[in-house]
Structure 1
Amino acid sequence: MTAGEGVQLWAEERGDPAAPPLLLVMGANASGVLWPEELVDLLAAGHRVIRYDHRDTGRSSAVFDRVPYAIADLARDAVAVLDALGIERAHVVGMSMGGTLIQLLLLDAPHRLRSATVLCTSALGAGLADVAGTGELPGPAPELLAYWQTMGGDRDRAAELDWRVEHWRLLSGGVLPVDAGWFRALEERAMDHAGSVRGPVAHALADQSGLDRGAELAAVTVPTLVVEAPEDPVNPPPHAAHLAAVVGGAGLVTVPGMGHALPPAVHGPLAAAVAAHTAAADAG
């Protein structure tokens, strides 16, 4: 599907086409297939689930080197996916940067949203979106920041898989057990899907202007749920509580032991929280 001049996006649907649509928005430098199959299946039990590849990830167009863009443009891509599929309003679920993009949609395109769920993220103007550099809330763990300096390195498939599995270990937070084989299989699918072993880095280089809009979130009326990942080393507590406090009428739930990752142990609790939230929003 087309999302602007020279930008083609890959997307996939699952579930009953007549069920309420639910759009999954992944984090930075991550393709849609990093939403685990098991989690997508759980969500598809009651929704028409759509996952897609951001530009410069997976099978979508790689354009940043030719035409640099802003993070905010990725939010408009999400709307383009809904347009291409003929979906007027959808539930949206965003992880990490995907949660940042959903906050932009809450402000700029609320008429397209039935509900919003965000996880492993921080409020606009805070965390990695703290473009003003206030530093009022904790930033990512130092060992993670150091590891990110090697992102996108020139590695063969085996070495890149090792890098990504170690990345997931760092992201997982140290409470839930890390099944290296499960994460390796997840990344093998992502590599095969993209047809490349090189890790994407474009989103780390994209313009962050327009993200310092936290004060506007108080006026949000779309039903919003914030999922706290208490072991998240990227957006650690109290980021989730802060976000829930600044978004108008937002709810807050915690998935115990969850870090900045989606291992099998969190699929059931996360899917249940999303299903309860979307059902309440549709009933309302």
Structure 2
Amino acid sequence: MQRSTQQPTQQPTQQYVEAAPGIRLWTEQRGPADAPPLLLVMGAQASGLGWPEPFVDALAERHRVIRYDHRDTGRSTWAFDTDPYPVAALAEDIVAVLDGLGIARAHLVGLSLGGMLSQLVLADHPDRVSSATLMGTCALSTRPYTAPDGTEVPVEELPGIAPEVLEMWARPVADHGEETELDRRVEHWRVLGGGRLPFDAAWFRDLERRIIAHTGRYAPPTAHGRADDAGLLRTEELAANRVPVQVIVAPAEPVFPPPHPQHLAQCLNAVRVTEIPGLGHALPPTVHGPLAAAVLAHTGATG
């Protein structure tokens, strides 16, 4: 991996930005201040610390990398219970982060809900996006999937979420203390991992312990699952997309399994489709290097 000739910042810098009246979002930046900006957009209920440190550091060799806490996660404002908002507001938060940090355009990397939010920005604010890499997500489009043999498959007939994941999401979460909550989160990552790569329970437990320390509470966030998800479809806007998009194919993905990535690539006119062997809906250490290499290959080719 070629290193930047620019001097990286010695320590990550933290800053709050105002996303809306009464809503502050925690952000962290690392890498050369004059390098091309790259914004990491995490999934539902997830703090920006869910992006693993080695992955962020690898991207920071060539980019000014920003990760942030969605509202109602981490150190950002928790306000849903008193001031509910729709899921679409989380996409406008992406633009607010760019505005708050004085960034005109950025490369986006979105995982899960973060991939959907990135699509909303591609559709509604394409001038703010240099490129996008999307993973673990589905297309915000009603366009049918065209299989390799030419067969058209309606969106509603694409594979659904794995039963093991649905069963775990349906379980009530009771407060039995921090260690029990850590047990639950580790098991959640095991299920989301998809089972093709070795599962390092200790690594994920350490990740979640850091997230809890960062957040200052161990109760799991729930706001995004309760937010109104109406009005997210952007079929025509995404069909007209001209921003360079890379779609990551995760063969072990249990939430949006193949051919969801291939469908997504068709709907957004993706210029690059990259498979990461063994990848599921989690980011274990084994995939950090290949995934960072894929992102950097895409951003390097698109400027």
TM range (shorter): over 0.9
Q: What is aligned with 2:231?
A: 210
Q: What is aligned with 1:78?
A: 94
Cα distance in 2 for partners of 1:209, 1:42 equals: 36
- Cα 1:35/1:18, change in 2 over 3 Å: same
1:11-67, Cα deviation, whole Å (9 max, x unpaired): 000100011000000000000001001110011011000000000000000011011
Q: Which runs of 5+ in 1 are unaligned?
A: 127-132
Cα distance in 2 for partners of 1:241, 1:29 equals: 26
State the secondary structure of the residue aligned to 1:275: helix
- Cα distance, 1:6 vs structure 2: 1.0
State the secondary structure of the residue aligned to 1:51: strand
Q: What is aligned with 2:271?
A: 250
1:164-175 matches, cutoff 5 A: 164-175=185-196
The number of aligned residues is 276
State the secondary structure of the residue aligned to 1:22: strand
Question: Conserved in 1, the CA contact under 8 Å of 2:247 and 2:270?
Answer: no
Within the candidate set 213, 217, 242, 1:196 is matched to 217
Q: What is aligned with 1:40?
A: 56
Question: Conserved in 1, the CA contact under 8 Å of 2:91 and 2:117?
Answer: yes
- Cα distance, 1:142 vs structure 2: 1.1
Q: What is aligned with 2:178?
A: 157
- Cα 1:114/1:36, change in 2 over 3 Å: same
- Cα 1:247/1:170, change in 2 over 3 Å: same
Question: Conserved in 2, the CA contact under 8 Å of 1:152 and 1:198?
Answer: no
Q: What is aligned with 1:142?
A: 163
1:12 aligns with 2:28: yes
1:91 aligns with 2:107: yes
Cα distance in 2 for partners of 1:174, 1:262 equals: 12
1:100-111 matches, cutoff 5 A: 100-111=116-127
- In percent, how many aligned pairs have the same letter? 58
Q: Which runs of 5+ in 2 are unaligned?
A: 1-16, 143-153
Q: What is aligned with 2:40?
A: 24
TM-score by length of 2: 0.89
1:207-236, Cα deviation, whole Å (9 max, x unpaired): 111112234311001000000111010011
State the secondary structure of the residue aligned to 1:91: strand
Q: What is aligned with 1:130?
A: none
Matched letter for residue 11 of structure 1: T
Question: Conserved in 1, the CA contact under 8 Å of 2:141 and 2:267?
Answer: no
- Cα distance, 1:125 vs structure 2: 4.3
- Cα distance, 1:137 vs structure 2: 1.2
Cα distance in 1 for partners of 2:159, 2:141 equals: 13
- Cα 1:134/1:225, change in 2 over 3 Å: closer
Whose strand fraction is larger, Structure 1's or Structure 2's? 2
Cα distance in 2 for partners of 1:258, 1:151 equals: 28
Cα distance in 1 for partners of 2:137, 2:237 equals: 17
1:155-179, Cα deviation, whole Å (9 max, x unpaired): 3101000000000000000100000
State the secondary structure of the residue aligned to 2:25: coil
Cα distance in 2 for partners of 1:268, 1:134 equals: 32
Cα distance in 2 for partners of 1:198, 1:166 equals: 16
State the secondary structure of the residue aligned to 1:8: strand
- Cα distance, 1:134 vs structure 2: 6.1
Cα distance in 1 for partners of 2:238, 2:75 equals: 33
Q: What is aligned with 1:120?
A: 136
1:280 aligns with 2:296: no
Name which of structure 1's ranges 5-14 and 144-153 shifts more when overlaid on structure 2: 144-153
Matched letter for residue 71 of structure 1: V
- Cα 1:249/1:134, change in 2 over 3 Å: closer
- Cα distance, 1:87 vs structure 2: 0.4
- Cα 1:152/1:106, change in 2 over 3 Å: farther
Cα distance in 1 for partners of 2:280, 2:168 equals: 17
Q: What is aligned with 1:129?
A: none
Q: What is aligned with 1:182?
A: 203
TM-score by length of 1: 0.95
Question: Conserved in 2, the CA contact under 8 Å of 1:151 and 1:201?
Answer: no
1:268 aligns with 2:284: no
Name which of structure 1's ranges 69-78 and 204-213 shifts more when overlaid on structure 2: 204-213
